[in-house]
Amino acid sequence: MDDFEGYTIGITGTNGKTTSKDMIYHILSKSGYRACKTEGNFNTSIGVPLSIFSFSDSADYYVLELGANQAGDIKHLSSMIKPNCAIVTNISDAHLDGFGSFDNIIKEKTSIFDYSDIGFYRSQINIDYSNPKVKLLSDSLENFHYPERLNSMFDKNRVLLANAFTVYHACNAIMDISIHDFFTLIEDFSLPKGRGQVHLLNNNIKMIDDTYNANPESVKAAIDNLVKYDNEGRKIFVFGDMKELGSDQIRFHKEIGDYCSEKIDIIMCYGDLAKNTINRSNKIPIQLHFDTKKSLSEELCNAMQANDVILLKGSRSMKLDLIIEDIINYVK
């Protein structure tokens, strides 16, 4: 990093890191700047240095995603890159096996601000955090009005809107961009794979691919988005285990069962932990658990009806994206 004379942006958080990173890179590139970004999930203590070594020293901006699954990861990466601008997308329960407690997650994620010039954090929880160079974005999203032409991107996806809200404030500080120009530049932005893309299938069936990863907060947000599809067909939730939640993993899976009860029509679960979700979803008309992805795919293909909206959500290791491939091939 010593040879780089440009501007460095570091992004961390529980959810939304990759989407926010790609959105910032998209805005910078379309604005005529030379930018480099970490690819895929190269956000570890090994992946970030490898990414930097591949970057051009003549770039104007480095956009770096920083991930963590244990205490000290963000502090180490932040001390290495010393970001001019730091962004924490949000903080919630995830990787509790490595962190031990939610308080430790807060300390770890916000440690990026110790090495940055300015910072932005959209606080969704009340934390005792005061740092004069950090702007806590507690403003209501209701005042963040997007143009009607972007309905296909933001409609029903409050998580994506929250990411855009944070990205806008950061970009405004970095390059003094207007809200009008911001929305114009992201008009052709495409979501990274597995982060909420909506596939429109035959018979007006909508399939929401949110399979990249899962933790309690992101699952609840995805359910909320599913419920917002009013005047459509049935709401079907395909749910896989949430991993790395520590000793409370059973409780978290039960909470998902409680949360989606009376909101959806069919729940299809895959994984040992997801059995706890089924046990708490008795107010859902159809509840099914599967031991294999193949049997789940077959049942889902047979069950689909016109106008259904199907959400698939689970931890990356559950590989629910393979079910999406099966469904797409089935309807061809």
The DSSP secondary structure of 80-109, one letter per residue, reads: HH--SEEEE----S--HHHH-SHHHHHHHH
What pLDDT, on the 0 to 100 scale, is given for residue 129?
A: 62
Question: What's the one-letter identity of residue 107?
Answer: K
Count Cβ atoms below 10 Å from residue 314 Cβ, excluding itself. 27
Q: Check: CB of residue 318 under 8 Å from CB of residue 241.
A: yes
Give residue for tokens 């982060």. Answer: 195
The one-character DSSP state at 110 is H
* CATH number for the domain formed by residue range(s) 7-185: 3.40.1190.10
Count Cβ atoms below 10 Å from residue 301 Cβ, excluding itself. 14
Residue 217, sorted as left (phi over 0), alpha (psi -120 to 50) or beta, turns out to be alpha
Pick from 116, 151, 150, 149: nearest CA to 134:
116
Dist CA 295 CA 301 (whole Å): 10
Query: 202-232 burial by CB neighbour count: b if 16+ within 10 A, else e?
Result: eeebbbbbbbbbbbbbbbebbbbbbbebeee
Single pTM value for the model: 0.87
The one-character DSSP state at 146 is P
Q: Strands 206-210 and 197-200, how do they pair? A: antiparallel
- What tokens does 137 get? 């974005």
What pLDDT, on the 0 to 100 scale, is given for residue 332?
A: 64
Name 189's Cβ contacts closer than 8 Å, sequence gap at least 6.
22, 23, 26, 153
Q: What does the domain layout of the chain look like in residue ranges?
A: 7-185, 197-331
How distant, in Å, are the alpha carbons of 3, 122, 237, 304 from that of 14?
Answer: 30, 12, 22, 33
What pLDDT, on the 0 to 100 scale, is given for residue 176?
A: 95
**Residue 240, phi then psi, degrees to nearest 5:** -110, 165
What pLDDT, on the 0 to 100 scale, is given for residue 94?
A: 67
Dist CA 47 CA 38 (whole Å): 8
Domain at 197-331, CATH homologous superfamily: Mur ligase, C-terminal domain (3.90.190.20)
pLDDT per residue, tens digit, the chain (332 aa), is: 667 899 999 999 988 999 999 999 999 999 999 999 998 778 888 899 999 999 999 999 999 999 887 888 999 999 999 999 999 998 877 666 767 788 888 888 899 999 999 999 987 665 656 778 898 887 677 788 999 999 888 878 888 999 999 999 999 999 999 999 999 999 999 988 899 999 999 999 999 999 999 999 999 999 999 999 977 799 999 999 999 898 999 999 999 999 999 999 999 999 999 999 998 887 899 999 999 999 999 999 999 999 999 999 999 999 999 999 989 888 76
